[in-house]
Amino acid sequence: MGRMIRRQVYLDREQDQAVRQVAASAGITESEVLRRALRGLALVEESKPVDPAAWARSKELTRKLIAQFPSLTVDPDWHRDDLYDRE
């Protein structure tokens, strides 16, 4: 890890409590919790679709296919155990 730069941040009580709890349970500093959270956020940002228009077209196609073939949709009450015969 390179040279550290000191930052001051403002958190609400709930966020502060969450940072403290994660740090205590993971055995790391509160600063490390925030650094890891920022790294995770950076990874999420990198994984966003490169072409938002292509993503929108893909979602629209999915909606059309679901409308055309409603039997392909997943029953919200479905459970994996339903796949197995029970005797």
- Whether residue 81 is contained in a domain is answered as no
Tens of pLDDT, residue by residue over 39-73, are 888 877 777 667 888 889 999 998 888 888 877 66
- Whether residue 4 is contained in a domain is answered as no
Q: What is the pTM of this model?
A: 0.51
- Whether residue 21 is contained in a domain is answered as yes
Q: Average pLDDT, whole number, for the chain?
A: 84
Count how many domains the chain has. Answer: 1
Three-class secondary structure assignment of the chain: CCCCCCCCCCCCHHHHHHHHHHHHHHCCCHHHHHHHHHHHHHHHHHCCCCCHHHHHHHHHHHHHHHHHCHHHCCCCCCCHHHHCCCC
